[in-house]
């Protein structure tokens, strides 16, 4: 069965990119444009991995992560922070990786592959 990746990202162009990239490489994807929608999807689908943007409309990425960590069956899902903010490695301390936009797609794919 295909591994599932949840993409939380508000820029539709970037969502498109990540969806194509992951699906071309054999993953199944879901995407959410904000934290609330992301949390709902995560609970429903229980993905194998989540990519998380930090600057989101409404609640920001770190807030999403805190809420997600409170859910028993979600808290151990690996999270990759993909954001334009520099120094974003501090924002979500327990993320498996923090990469900045624009990112190297091979690098991202390798991190995904190594994580799940």
Partner 1 sequence: MADEILLIDRDKSHADALSIYLERQQFEVFIADSVENILILLDNLIPDIILADPFLPELRVINLLKQIKNSNPSTQIIITPDHDYYDQAIEELQSDVLTYLQKPINSHLLDLSLKQAREWISLNKKLDRYAGKLGDLHNAQNLYQQLFDEVPCYISVQDREFRLTATNRMFKKDFGNEIGSYCYEIYKHRTSPCPDCPVDATFEDGESHQTEEIVTSKSGKHYNTLTWTAPIEDATGKITQVIEMSTNITQIRQLQDHLTSLGLMLGSMSHGVKGMLTALDGGIYQLESGIANKDDERITKAFDQVKHMTDKIKDMVLEILYYAKSRALKYQSVDVNQLAESIKDTVEPIAKKNDIELNMHISPSMGKMDIDSNWVKAALVNFIENAVDACTYDRSKKEHHVDFSVCEKRPDYVCFEISDNGMGMDQETKEKMFTLFFTSKGSHGTGLGLFIAHRVITQHSGAITVESELREGSWFQICLPRKRPEHPRVVDFPEMNLNNSGK
Q: Which residues bind partner 1 (CB under 8 A)?
A: 11, 13-14, 16-18, 20-21, 24, 55, 58-60, 62-63, 84-86, 90-91, 100-103, 105
Q: Which is nearer to partner 1, 38 or 72 (CB)?
A: 38
CB of 16 to partner 1, least distance (A): 6
CA 90 to chain centroid: 16
CA 87 to chain centre: 17
Closest to partner 1 by CB, 14 vs 41, is 14
User: CB of 41 within 8 A of CB of 6?
Assistant: yes
Q: Give the span between the Cα atoms of 110 and 75, in whole angstroms.
A: 22
Rounded least distance, CB 103 to partner 1, Å: 7
Residue 60 beta carbon to partner 1: minimum distance, rounded to whole angstroms: 4
* Helix, strand, coil percentages in the chain from 3-state DSSP, rounded to 5: 40, 20, 40
Residue closer to partner 1, measured from CB, 10 or 71: 10
| Partners of 29 in beta bridges | 5
Q: Which is nearer to partner 1, 37 or 59 (CB)?
A: 59
């Amino acid at each position: 069965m295909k591994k599932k990746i949840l993409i939380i990202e508000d820029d539709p162009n970037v969502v498109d990119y990540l969806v194509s990239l992951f699906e071309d490489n054999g993953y199944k994807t879901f995407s959410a444009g904000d934290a609330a929608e992301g949390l709902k999807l995560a609970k429903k689908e229980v993905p194998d991995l989540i990519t998380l943007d930090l600057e989101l409309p409404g609640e920001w990425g770190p807030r999403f992560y805190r809420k997600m960590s409170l859910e028993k069956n979600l808290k151990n899902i690996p999270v990759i922070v993909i954001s334009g903010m520099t120094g974003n490695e501090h924002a979500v301390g327990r993320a498996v990786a923090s990469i900045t936009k624009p990112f190297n797609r091979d690098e991202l794919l390798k991190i995904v592959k190594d994580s799940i």
